[in-house]
Amino acid sequence: MIRCLAIDDEPLALRQIADYIKKTPFLELTGQCESALDAIAVLEKVQVDLMFVDINMPDLSGLDFVKTLENPPKTVFVTAYSEYALEGFRVDALDYLLKPVSYVDFLRSANKIKLWFDTHIQKSDEVKSNKEFLFIKSEYKILRINFDDIKYIEGMNEYIKINLSADKPVMTLLSMKAIEEQLPADRFMRVHRSYIVNLSKISVIERSRIVFDGKVYIPVSDQYKSNFQSYIDKNFLT
């Protein structure tokens, strides 16, 4: 099931998209919001795979809303104005629906999106289940990085810095989102917008910070604190 969030400031249009989601077998409605600001609050609490977002909304437009998200769910823009289509695709929208939206148009778009999810999730799962390493391009070289050798990964604007147990750190031109998608979820966890840690390398936690080598302090931000605390609780001996 693809978990969906519908966002539109027009109640009738919002109800229509929500109803379309509900009647489509492979989609699940996890929430509906009448503003982008409400949607931001929902995204902090609910896992969403796909958003249907109206572009013209007060306070914060659908386009600006998606641009503010660090790791936005996949997006389909819904609007009455065709001139926004190009700008929508510039923020990696999967599709664009022009109002008024018929269920035939909605289902055609949904089927295309399902194909995208099926293809990409399958590829991602294959990578995670069949590899114990990654190949990374760094300084005109291609380096093999074993998952077991990674202590933590630090985001540095357009680059990431992979800190290793024995060797010197490796810098590569890559986003945090891209590297996170390739790491085994049961072995690595994002604890901050700028940090991903190898869970097996954690030995000291102090005041909501993970301590490496007694001198590197990695903060656990509020956005990721709940997941990290759940991991600690499951492995805590009382």
Is the domain of 24 the same as that of 99? yes
Is the same domain home to 189 and 95? no
Tell me the average pLDDT of the chain.
88
CA atoms within 13 A on the CB side of 227: 18
> From its phi and psi, is residue 229 left (phi > 0), alpha (psi between -120 and 50) or beta?
alpha
Q: What is the pLDDT of residue 83?
A: 62
Q: What is the structure's pLDDT at 58? A: 86
Same domain, 123 and 217: no
Identify the weakest region by mean pLDDT among 81-95, 129-143, 152-166, 212-226: 81-95
Q: Please choose, from the candidates 206, 124, 208, 191, the residue with its C-alpha nearest in 3D space to the C-alpha of residue 151.
A: 191
- Three-state SS string across the chain, please? CEEEEEECCCHHHHHHHHHHHHHCCCEEEEEEECCHHHHHHHHCCCCCCEEEEECCCCCCCHHHHHHHCCCCCEEEEEECCHHHHHHHHHCCCCEEEECCCCHHHHHHHHHHHHHHHHHHHHHHHHHHHHCCEEEEEECCEEEEEEHHHEEEEEEECCEEEEEECCCCCEEEECCHHHHHHHCCCCCEEEEECCEEEEHHHCCEECCCEEEECCCEEEECCHHHHHHHHHHHHHCCCC
At 67-80, the pLDDT tens digits run 888 888 999 999 88
Query: How many independent structural domains does the chain possess?
Result: 2
Evaluate the CA torsion angle 184, 185, 186, 191 in order and state its sign.
Answer: positive
User: Are 190 and 76 in the same domain?
Assistant: no
Do 117 and 213 reside in the same domain of the chain? no
Mark which of 88, 110, 128 sits at the end of a domain. 128
User: What average pLDDT does this structure show over 132-154?
Assistant: 91
* Same domain as 160, residue 143: yes
How far is Cα 51 from Cα 222, in angstroms, rounded to an integer?
23
Percentage of the chain lying above the pLDDT 70 cut: 91
Per-residue pLDDT, averaged over 48-73, amounts to 89
Q: Which residue, of 128, 145, 178, is where some domain finishes?
A: 128
Angle at 31 between CA 70 and CA 221, to 5 degrees: 35
Mean pLDDT of 46-73: 89
Are residues 143 and 207 located together in one domain of the fold? Answer: yes
Burial zone of 204 (CB within 10 Å; 0-12 exposed, 13-18 middle, 19+ buried): exposed
Is the model's pLDDT at 81 over the cut of 80? no
Same domain? For 143 and 120 the reply is: no
155: containing domain: 133-234
What is the pLDDT at residue 67? Answer: 87
Instruction: Judge if 24 and 89 occupy the same domain.
Output: yes
Q: What is the pLDDT of residue 158?
A: 82
**CATH label of the domain that carries residue 216:** 2.40.50.1020
Assess whether pLDDT exceeds 60 at residue 89: no
Whether 87 and 59 map to the same domain: the answer is yes
- Model confidence at 82, in pLDDT bands (50, 70, 90)? low
pLDDT given at position 194: 95
Which is more confidently placed, 61 or 51? Answer: 51
Q: For residue range 4-20, what is the model confidence (pLDDT) as tens digits?
A: 999 999 999 999 999 99
Q: Are residue 16 and residue 109 in the same domain, yes or no?
A: yes
The predicted model gives 24-43 an average pLDDT of 94
Q: Distance between CA atoms of 37 and 231, rounded to whole angstroms? A: 30
pLDDT value, residue 87: 57
Least confident of 68-72, 183-187, 203-207: 68-72
The predicted model gives 105-110 an average pLDDT of 96
Q: What is the pLDDT of residues 188-202, one digit of tens each?
A: 999 999 999 999 999
Residues 113 and 141 in one domain: no
CATH number for the domain including 56? Answer: 3.40.50.2300
Judged by average pLDDT, the poorest of 74-83, 94-103, 141-150 is 74-83
Domain-ending residue, one of 73, 107, 128: 128
